[in-house]
Amino acid sequence: MAAKRSSAKTRRRAKKPPSPITAKSGRRGGKPRPKADPLARAKKLADQGKIGDALRAAQQVANADPKQWQALNLIGSLLWRSGHPAEALAMHEKAIAVAPDEAGVQAELIGQFFSASFKASIDPERAIRIVERFLDRHVPTVIFMAQYINALLIARRFMDALRMSERAISLFPDNATLHRNKSVALVHMGRAEEAVAAFARGLRPYRPEAESSESQARQNSGLLTQYADLAATYDDNPLHRSFSERMAAFITKFAGATIGKNVLDAGCGTGLLGTRIKTRRLVGIEISPAMIAQARGRGVYDELVEGDLTGAMAARDDTFDIIASSCVLYHLADFAPFFREAARLLVPGGYLFFSVDPAPDDMDVGITEPGEYAHSRSYLRRLAAQASLTETAIAVMPHRICPGFWCAFRRRSKS
């Protein structure tokens, strides 16, 4: 009997056999351990700013599978971030070549290639060839077509840009950006009136009753924020520099040398126009404190006034031979106060020069974007006549990339 009890006790104390080790998990029992994703690890390292580690991890993925287009594209982005644009573009191009031939995938990759190509100023023709192959196979998106047309414009292939703009507009007839792209091509081809008509297709009529004082205040606040962000690097942009160069040439063409004249720079920004002209006395008005600080550092202005343009003009009682406003007035919808104050401040025979986005004559004022406006020649001429200003010229030339009206008016001399 004792022997039986001992055997039963031994059986009760015996341990359970160990669980088998699963082949997938490497663990005893439980759920399989998820397989590590090396590409996800590379992306995580990139998000953490560990560019070198991310690049090595992504390269390992690409070495294991040369057709892993996500890895190739990530390598391109990492090379760009580490200051190797040519190598980055080569890797983006490899990603495009091996990625699935699906419109969405290809369009996204080619868009990234565009961005990198033009930021680095490397061979726009290369980007254009890639797009043309895409367009042979897929129906594009609006964004894709706009990017492509911009590439053609940067490459100064204006006829091709016009052709592609018309193709894009046939697919997306209500897209304002595409009409503006077309206007850029036309104005550079010397087809001025067609350019104005194309730009007008992207406008909405302005209705003063629909704009409250609160919305205007928000726009002004947004404008101050925008220019505060731009001020430090504003002069690095070739387009911004060209505004002042073109205005200085426009002034000289009609008013002659400015060296003996009193000049008001209405909306002086960082003061680039002040560096392009020599005057007897130069006054600048600017709404942005950050911009006016840049202008002050140039040391070319006799006086700088911070404030709203028409309000600051209304507070003055001195006079000027020339008032100039370069690529500024598109922020204003109603020009009547500006014309009135400009005429009051000009000496008899003095000149008013400014540039605006163009609207068609059957639309006094149009909206290009929230807080940005275009004005028609008929509107400008009517206000000028009311302010006793006579037209010297309204020329159609490139403005903010798109076409614009470059205007010269003159205060009537006393009889």
Read off the CATH number of the domain in which 216 is found.
Answer: 3.40.50.150
Domain assignment present for residue 252? The answer is: yes
Query: What is the rounded average pLDDT of the residues 20-37?
Result: 53
Domain assignment present for residue 367? The answer is: yes
Q: What pLDDT is attached to residue 366?
A: 97
Mean pLDDT of the chain, nearest integer: 87
Domain assignment present for residue 265? The answer is: yes
Whether 372 and 399 map to the same domain: the answer is yes
CATH number, domain of 112, equals 1.25.40.10
Structural contact between residues 309 and 338, judged by C-beta atoms closer than 8 angstroms: yes
Query: What's the number of domains the chain is made of?
Result: 2
Query: What is the rounded average pLDDT of the residues 27-48?
Result: 76
Does the pLDDT of residue 235 top 80, yes or no?
Answer: no
Domain assignment present for residue 2? The answer is: no
Domain assignment present for residue 162? The answer is: yes
Does the pLDDT of residue 221 top 80, yes or no?
Answer: no
Does the pLDDT of residue 230 top 90, yes or no?
Answer: no
Domain assignment present for residue 22? The answer is: no
Does the pLDDT of residue 60 top 70, yes or no?
Answer: yes
Instruction: Read off the pLDDT of residues 88-107 as tens digits, 9 standing for 90 and up.
Output: 999 999 999 999 999 889 98
Q: What pLDDT is attached to residue 130?
A: 87
Whether 242 and 132 map to the same domain: the answer is no
Does the pLDDT of residue 10 top 60, yes or no?
Answer: no
Between 133 and 193, the more confident residue is 193
Token pair listed for 190: 């010397």
Q: What pLDDT is attached to residue 125?
A: 79
* pLDDT band at residue 226 using 50, 70 and 90 as cut-offs: confident
Instruction: Read off the pLDDT of residues 247-288 as tens digits, 9 standing for 90 and up.
Output: 999 999 999 999 999 999 999 999 999 999 999 999 999 999
Instruction: Read off the pLDDT of residues 150-189 as tens digits, 9 standing for 90 and up.
Output: 888 888 899 999 999 999 999 999 999 999 999 999 999 9
What residue has token string 């082949």? 23
Whether 140 and 220 map to the same domain: the answer is no
Query: What is the rounded average pLDDT of the residues 339-359?
Result: 97
Q: What pLDDT is attached to residue 53?
A: 94
Q: What pLDDT is attached to residue 215?
A: 61
Measured CA to CA, the distance from residue 227 to residue 232 in angstroms comes to 9
Print the domain residue range for 177.
38-205
262 φ, ψ (degrees, to nearest 5)? -90, 125
β-partners of residue 375 are: 358, 365
Q: What pLDDT is attached to residue 127?
A: 82
* pLDDT band at residue 375 using 50, 70 and 90 as cut-offs: very high
Identify the weakest region by mean pLDDT among 27-31, 108-112, 316-320.
27-31
Whether 269 and 338 map to the same domain: the answer is yes
Measured CA to CA, the distance from residue 243 to residue 257 in angstroms comes to 19
Measured CA to CA, the distance from residue 104 to residue 157 in angstroms comes to 26
Whether 259 and 194 map to the same domain: the answer is no
- Eight-state DSSP code of residue 125: H
Q: What pLDDT is attached to residue 219?
A: 66
Whether 278 and 335 map to the same domain: the answer is yes
Measured CA to CA, the distance from residue 400 to residue 206 in angstroms comes to 20
* For the ranges 52-56, 134-138, 234-238, 375-379, the one whose mean pLDDT is highest: 375-379
Q: What pLDDT is attached to residue 18?
A: 47
Whether 198 and 321 map to the same domain: the answer is no
Domain assignment present for residue 15? The answer is: no
